[in-house]
Amino acid sequence: MKKEKQYTTDGIKILHDLFVRDDQEMLSLLKKEREKANIAQKIYDMRIGEGLTQKQLADRIGTTPSVISRLEDSDYDGHSLKMLQRIASALNYQLDIQFTKNFEPEKTIKLNWEFNIPDSIKWSRNNEECLFTA
């Protein structure tokens, strides 16, 4: 039985397929940008969660509102451990740092299927095999 080609209207998936796909350099850049965006978003979420303005947070840690604005910008890549600790302390949070192992392609398992796979699982271009990390 021949599988019908699946189409999507998911803009993120379309852009990913067009510009990133399996390009390791682009995947690395995308990962770095996501990390920066996550840090900026966490700082923003903590500040808003405490009901503080950028000026109020800046006053608590002894800096200026423009520094807080820069730290909450996803394009900023100068987050220092010391500054993150100061922010966490001022907002009554604990800063935890986690190291995780990078994906290693040689440790993949190839599985064949004869059933419907959820869209959340990444499959190869020809849709004949699915790669799961071990």
Q: Kindly give, in sequence order, each residue whose CB lies less than 8 Å from that of residue 60, ignoring residues fewer than 6 positions away.
A: 52, 90, 91
Q: Is residue 123 part of a domain?
A: no
Is residue 114 domain-resident?
A: no
Give this prediction's pTM: 0.64
Return the SS3 of 119.
coil
The predicted-structure confidence for 2-16, as pLDDT tens digits, reads as follows 667 777 788 878 887
d(CA 40, CA 74): 5
* Res. 1: pLDDT tops 90: no
Is residue 72 in a domain? yes
Eight-state DSSP code of residue 17: H
Residue range(s) defining the domain that contains residue 49: 11-100
Task: Count how many domains the chain has.
Answer: 1
Over residues 19-54, the pLDDT tens digits come to 778 888 888 888 888 899 999 999 999 999 999 999
| In a domain? residue 106 | no
